[in-house]
Structure 1
Amino acid sequence: MMIQSSTLIISLLCIILSVFQTCYSVSTGTIIQPSKSRQISWKPRAFVYEGFLTEEECDHLIALAKTELKRSVVANSESGDSMLSEVRTSSGTFIENGEDIQVLKYEEGQKYDAHYDYFSDPVNIVRGGHRLATVLMYLSDVQKGGETVFPNAEELPQRGSHDKDDLSDCAKKGIAVKPRKGDALLFFNLYPTAVPDTMSLHGGCPVLEGEKWSATKWIHVDSFDKIVGSGGGKCSDDNDRCEQWAALGECTKNPEYMVGSTDIPGSCRRSCKRICTLCDGALKAGSGSVTRAIFSAECSHSFHFTCITSYVKHGNHVCPICDVEWKDIPSHAPIAKPTNGTTRVVPILTWPSHIKATSGTLPCIPSQTNSNRSITSNSQSSEPFHFNDDDPLDFQFKFPSNDKSIIRSIDIKTSTELSAVRRSISQKNFHVLINLKAHVTDMNQVNSDIPSPTRRAPVDLVTVLDVSGSMTGTKILLLKRAMGFVIENLGPFDRLSVITFSSNARRLFPLLLMDDSGKQHALQAVNCLFAGGETNISEGLKKGAQVMEDRRHKNPVCSIMLLSDGQETVKNRIHLQEKLRLKIPVHTFGFGEDHDPITLHSIAEGSKGTFSFIENEGLIQDAFAQCIGGLLGVVAQDLQVHIQSLQLDLCLSQLKAGSYSSNISCDNQIGFVDIGELYADEERDVLVLVNIPSVEDKDSGNQMKLVSVRCTYRDPFTKESMATDAIEVKIYRPRSLIEDLVVSVEVDRQKNRFRAAEAMRFARAAADKGDLPNARAIIDRCRMWISESASMRAGDKLCVALDAELQEVWSRMGSKKIYESTGRGYILSGMSAHSMQKATARGDSTETSSPVHAYQTPPMFEMLKLSRMSLPNFLRPKKTQPKYI
């Protein structure tokens, strides 16, 4: 592959070099040498050729351009017209020779913010297609700054470009190339499949010292002077079976191949022009009872008039086939009932009652936008290089630390697995349970002068939403309603930003305060969502993390919610440690049978978030509601449990804390468990295994101190560091065996929780290898063990729920097809819940008595009640017979 790439690089550079050699008579003696090419990235494909131009060639290009310099412009993403923008502050000119070569001059402070070289407007695309590749030639050295930076690129592990200390702060945001006179940078803007490569996002860093000269050559898919019709290509069929495929509905099911888009010409345009892709009905011109009026859009695509008026009535002004934004919109005439088929309508959200909207709808893009509250469609391509345009937090007044009106506390309880251990024996791996519970008590909520939203820690929330092609129809409707519910239930001091991803990722709006104005802006953007394209989870997650990383102001609590219904189809590998270096919980939601539970579970596990499996599409809103029900009540942050042995010869042997990190000192006397956040009314349980020594001193008392336990944490509301009192754990040490020995149900319950989580992990490993009989046998053994335990015999609710859940897991391993469609996601969601002791949504459960609600807190339950009350009857989830029994 590298040999082929080097050949392509040399071929492209030779073409460009031939332009110079015919443009002027400077004797260069330049010879293309493969050894001078250096690959800096494979995502995007980017290479540097050292010494591509001689000093004479650089000076000659500068001399040609000096007298013609004008302020640089950018292309309007809608019309394709050139326009001035603060995004690009250099001056430049085009040198005509075949295709245009643009020479640019950057003075101190001038820059070009991050952008893509491929086009997003239909006007430039039809003049020769996308810019396939860019060759950027550096015509001068720059003392400081002026680097070309790729913020999304993945650096090659085996080689780095140069010392990071030599780069400006701007260049340290990604992979950067320092301008050196005579060097040339080649990078590709499209994948080999002709799909735009979002990794090719690049910018010119500000020049800090000196000046920067460069020359840019763009290589297009076709001749740049090629003029084609407004439809982006000829209306013809490239395959004899196009008409048959169109009759079978392929124009709607497979629009990229059949109809094409602004990026890719379709192969069956002629046949698909006879199909209305909104209802899959035939387009028939003429008169009579079997014909319907036809609307032909400016992009050349046609639809039934009744279908398209319904479509645009709800704020959709973008072609559902090619995503071109229309300027000429059909009038909102009364909709006649179609004679054939049913129209597919993008519905309106149910708006919060306190928000006034004219005529009952909110348009996609407001007519007047505040610069701090800008909204973009998820089809637009321009956005700021840094996401530091978040709403300021002007309300951050301080509360007195001695204010006793709200009491937040962490209660600690301890239990030992046995009430007594004989003095004459030693016992290894003796279990001590530490139970933590967060409490919030508002002493004067009713008479408080402070509005209730301020009496909890406000939240910064970023939702990363899959809007790929598989989210069409009811799915996108339910996603919009779920987001409407989230927006309605955030407080005026919470902030929200929405990221959407399909083939690319887009930030719809920055972190906005969810006051009335912010909610209206957010709802407008959400109502504008449409589905289409591939699934690029990696890009969406990275952009969501950037919103959190670049924000100027910070609310005490922050979190990311990521929903996807598909596999990663854009071939980017998600390396969480590299892409998401922030300590921000990412709560992931896998939707339907085709999502990627392994990737989503990995993202959640690596960030201390949760993974939920939503099998029933009607449960999206419930899953979101349960999640925000917890987020809106964070009581403690950076919670850490400290365990100290109280006997020199008593050692800590193990800390069982699920997914939470733990550590034991070298002398086995001190242990730590990092819990992180704790929601109101949430509990965490840690099992401490200790080695108890025998007692030979006859004069010692009958009680032995084992360990002391205390917690430290930060109050997110007052931002104070807090600490609990230390609690000592003691055990009775009789000289002889006692008859009333008590076995702790609490400790036994947590043993069963860890057994169940471990059984799910081993069963999943076996099932992933195709050994389903062994996987089921592992579940059977665990169920038998739990059934014989003291806590199960006592009727403990958690153990009953664990047994029911394990039975469900066993059922979902009945065949390879069942396991891969629903079993894997169900198990991973259960593992996430039990290892974190956090509530997750699983399967198609709709009842609160279901075993999957074991860790649900009262605030979560109340938010779920609100969610179910807000849904109309036809959207509420209904029980269906499981397919796997």
Structure 2
Amino acid sequence: MTVKTHTESSAISASQSCSNFPVLVSIRAPPLEGHGRTPIDLVTVLDVSGSMTGPKISLVKRAMKFVIKNLGPSDRLSIVSFSSDSERVFRLRRMSVDGRESAILAVESLRACGGTDIAAGLEKATRIFEDRRERNPVSSIILLSDGQDNYCRSGSQMLKKLPASIRSRNKQDEVPVHTFGFGTDHDANIMHAIFDEGLQGVVDVGNLYAEEEKQFLVYLLVPQSPASDTKTPLLDVLCVYRDLASKQLIQVVGERVEIARPEVCSPADQVVSLEVDRQRNRVSVAEAIAEAQGLAEMGNLEGARAILTQRRETLLATPAARAGDGLSSLLETELREITDRMATMDLYAQTGRAHALSGMSSHSLQRATTRGDTTTSCLSAVPSYSSGGINCVTFEQQQAQPQCLSGGATPFASAAASPQVGAYETSSMVRMVHKSKNFGTSDQLY
């Protein structure tokens, strides 16, 4: 794990005070190579209600086969299906050759019928985790559904029915849920509410995938300096994390962040850091999307589009955007896409709501999502299925080809990132999505 910091500028004059001086703190996980992936206990919760009849249930089976193929012999998988009630169709079992074959047979046996009670499926999944006699270091739930719940008509109703381990504020007890929405008619509000539960009001890094990078802006009060030509210490950065493979608690010493205090700042001292500015743009855009989405839900599309348009104009005037920053280019494209999808209430209901909520999920975790037909993420340019670990995904039929040009880690970390490289993508994630694209339509596991 590495820790880096950037200040907005390299100096503040000694006679000046600043009440809101931004410092960017970045943490980055090491690559997977040479370490091996930490074993996982995975429970997939599959919607087999009547609304999943036809192409949707076929896509669920196809996605599950891809997941099964990419689990290792140390990983364990359980499969829960739900409609009007829930059923464990495959017990928690290691994915040996025999385990994979049995899991495939369980998936093939699924049939769509009945109503939809998502909470019942999630409750069954959490009970599987609670009843374990042994456990792998990582636990996770994947929910695949169109979100058309017959028992909950809103996200707030759904949250009241979720099991305690999903709603837990204690990160030691929490089981993360990755939600995948199938079809353009899926209920994006409910799927987003399930994913977002427990994240508000608490800043917690959570699990990091290989090569992932999280960046946080810290705003500080910098007082006047009693003497010029000195340095003012701003903060000390320290990172503590648990390595899930070795189960060791590891401390990473960051650095003491200081800033020069000359009597008079030179033009070079006042140059705005692009690293800080691009992250300020990211936060600003995420806030605008959330505000616009709230207005759109109230039917005020004109106000929603005005917010997005104004934020786009502000973004284009920032130092990072004027310097050709790749992240800022992606953010500008995202604002334009969401604005276009809010042209009418019909279009917003069809694709705009899901697109905006998926973007909000992506920014809140700084993790890539797929959003159907979009130009802001390479991960969207895959067929009608995807891999685990990507949140709040819209599954749609499409034949677009991926346009990933970079094999690097986090494209947002580079000012020169290509606009064709998507948001928050790591090379491991892109490789997995390419594998899913090439998985084919055969029912054979190997």
Q: Residues 685 and 537 of structure 1: is their aligned pair in 2 closer, same or farther, counting only changes over 3 Å?
A: same
Structure 2 CA distance, aligned partners of 1:772 and 1:478?
Answer: 33
Corresponding residue for residue 23 of structure 2: 432
For residue 477 of structure 1, give the secondary structure of its aligned residue in structure 2: helix
1:365-404 matches, within 5 Å, as none
Return the offset for 1:481.
1.4
Q: In structure 1, what is the Cα distance between the partners aligned to 2:403 and 2:303?
A: 32
Aligned to 1:567: 148
2:320 — aligned with what?
A: 791
Which structure 2 residues correspond to residues 9-24 of structure 1 after superposition, within 5 A? none
CA distance, structure 1, for counterparts of residue 32 and residue 51 of structure 2: 45
After superposition, residues 293-312 of structure 1 pair within 5 angstroms as none
- Which of the residues 177, 184, 191 maps onto 1:586? 177
Structure-1 separation of matches of 2:7 and 2:207? 26
Any conservation in 2 of the 1:463–1:499 contact (CA below 8 Å)?
yes
After superposing the two structures, state which structure 1 stretch, 744-753 or 839-848, moved more.
839-848
Q: Does 1:854 align with 2:423?
A: yes
Q: Distance in 2 between matches of 1:819 and 1:851?
A: 25
Q: Which residue of 1 aligns with 2:398?
A: none
Structure 2 distance, partners of 1:841, 1:604, is: 14
Return the offset for 1:737. 2.5
Correspondence list, 1:166-565, <5 A: 410-440=1-31, 442=33, 445=34, 455-565=36-146
Is 2:332 aligned against 1:803?
yes
The correspondence for 1:755, drawn from 284, 292, 301, is: 284
Judged with a 3 Å threshold, the aligned counterparts in structure 2 of structure 1 residues 576 and 750 are, in CA distance, closer, same or farther, namely farther
More helix, by proportion: 2
SS at 1:773 equivalent:
helix
**Within 2, Cα distance between the matches of 1:824 and 1:772?**
12
Q: Relative contact order: is structure 1 or structure 2 higher (C-alpha 8 Å, sep ≥ 6)?
A: 2
Aligned residues of 1:556 and 1:716 also touching (Cα < 8 A)? yes
Q: Which amino acid aligns with 1:425?
A: Q
Question: 1:672-751 to 2 correspondence within 5 Å?
Answer: 674-697=204-227, 701-740=229-268, 741-751=270-280
Asked if structure 1 preserves the Cα contact closer than 8 Å seen for 2:6 and 2:275, the reply is yes
Q: What secondary structure, in the 3-state scheme, does the structure 1 residue paired with 2:66 have?
A: helix
Q: How does 1:822-861 map to 2 (within 5 A)?
A: 822-844=351-373, 845-846=380-381, 847-849=402-404, 853-861=422-430
Equivalent pair of 2:56/2:182 in contact (CA under 8 Å): no
Indicate how the Cα distance of structure 1 residues 660 and 837 shifts in structure 2: closer, same or farther if over 3 A, else same: farther
Distance 1:843 1:600 in 2: 15
CA contact (8 A) 2:192 2:357 kept: yes
Unmatched 5+ stretches in structure 2: 166-172, 374-379, 382-401, 405-418
Instruction: Summarize the Cα distance change of 1:435–1:559 in structure 2 as closer, same or farther, 3 Å threshold.
Output: same
> Which structure has the larger Rg?
1
The structural deviation recorded for 1:813 is 0.4
Give CA-to-partner distance per residue, 1:33-86, whole Å, 9 cap, x none: xxxxxxxxxxxxxxxxxxxxxxxxxxxxxxxxxxxxxxxxxxxxxxxxxxxxxx
Equivalent in the alignment of 1:364: none
1:584 CA displacement: 1.1
Residues 591, 556 of structure 1: CA spacing in aligned structure 2 closer, same or farther, 3 A cutoff?
Answer: same
Q: 1:786 Cα shift?
A: 0.7
SS of corresponding position for 1:704: strand
Q: Quote how far apart the aligned CAs of 1:575 are.
A: 2.5
CA distance in 1, matches of 2:198, 2:403: 27
Contact 1:467–1:531 (CA<8 Å) still a contact in 2? Answer: yes
**Aligned counterpart, 2:436:** 867
* Offset, 1:427: 0.4
- Give 3-state SS (helix, strand or coil) of 2:110's partner: coil
Which aligned pairs between 1:57-206 and structure 2 lie closer than 5 A? none
User: 1:597·1:825 contact (CA, 8 Å) conserved in 2?
Assistant: yes
Q: CA deviation at 1:748?
A: 0.3
User: 1:345: which partner in 2?
Assistant: none
CA contact 1:503–1:534 (8 Å) conserved in 2? yes
Contact 1:465 1:563 in 2 (8 A): yes
Secondary structure at 1:676's aligned position in 2? coil
- How far apart, CA to CA, are the structure 2 residues paired with 1:660 and 1:848? 36
**Out of 592, 604, 609, which is 2:195 matched to?**
604
Structure 1 residues 486-524: Cα deviation after superposition (integer angstroms, max 9, x where no partner): 101100000001111111111111111000111111011
Whether the 8 Å contact between 1:576 and 1:606 is mirrored in structure 2 is: no
After superposition, the C-alpha distances for 1:440-467 in whole angstroms (9 at most, x for unaligned) are 375xx5xxxxxx8xx3210011111111
**In the TM superposition, what is the alpha-carbon distance from 1:558 to its structure 2 partner?**
0.9
Matched length: 391
Contact residue 584 and residue 607 of structure 1 kept, 8 A: no
Q: Quote the offset at 1:606 in angstroms.
A: 1.4
Instruction: Report the AA paired with residue 302 of structure 2.
Output: P
Say which SS state the counterpart of residue 30 (structure 2) adopts.
strand
Per-residue Cα deviation, 1:235-257 (whole angstroms, up to 9, x for no partner)? xxxxxxxxxxxxxxxxxxxxxxx
TM-score (norm 2): 0.84
TM-score (norm 1): 0.43
Classify 1:711/1:576 alpha carbon distance in 2 versus 1 (closer, same or farther; 3 Å): farther
Distance 2:126 2:424 in 1: 27
- Paired with 1:773 and 1:841, the residues of 2 have a C-alpha distance of 26
Report the equivalent of 1:34.
none
Alignment correspondent of 2:416: none
Distance 2:293 2:4 in 1: 34
Distance 2:32 2:370 in 1: 28
Deviation at 1:676, TM superposition (A): 1.3
Q: CA deviation at 1:661?
A: 1.8
Q: Deviations over 1:294-339 (max 9, x none)?
A: xxxxxxxxxxxxxxxxxxxxxxxxxxxxxxxxxxxxxxxxxxxxxx
Partner secondary structure for residue 548 of structure 1: helix
Offset, 1:594 = 2.2
Per-residue deviation, 1:853: 2.6
Mapped partners of 2:309, 2:136: distance in 1: 47
1 CA distance for matches of 2:161 and 2:113? Answer: 29
Contact 2:45–2:79 (8 Å) recurs in 1: yes
Closer, same or farther: CA 866–488 of 1 in aligned 2, 3 Å: same
User: Any conservation in 1 of the 2:49–2:113 contact (CA below 8 Å)?
Assistant: yes
Relative distance call for 1:595 and 1:580 in structure 2 (3 A) is farther
Contact 1:840 1:853 (8 Å CA) reproduced: no
CA positional deviation for 1:577: 8.0
* Separation of aligned partners in 1, 2:147 and 2:291: 25
SS of aligned partner of 2:119: helix
**Change in CA separation of 1:463 and 1:578 when aligned onto 2, cut-off 3 Å:** closer
Asked if structure 1 preserves the Cα contact closer than 8 Å seen for 2:10 and 2:259, the reply is yes
The code of the aligned residue for 1:497 comes to: S
- The 1-side partners of 2:152 and 2:360 are apart by 27
Shift of 1:607: 4.8
Listed one character per residue, the Cα deviations across residues 196-243 of structure 1 (whole Å, up to 9, x for unaligned) are xxxxxxxxxxxxxxxxxxxxxxxxxxxxxxxxxxxxxxxxxxxxxxxx
Q: Deviations over 1:148-199 (max 9, x none)?
A: xxxxxxxxxxxxxxxxxxxxxxxxxxxxxxxxxxxxxxxxxxxxxxxxxxxx
3-state SS of 1:574 partner: helix
Partner Cα separation in structure 1 for residue 6 and residue 238 of structure 2: 15
CA contact (8 A) 2:147 2:188 kept: no
For residue 57 of structure 1, what is the aligned residue in structure 2?
A: none
Instruction: State the 1:469 CA deviation.
Output: 1.1
| Contact kept in structure 1, 2:60 and 2:144, CA below 8 Å | no
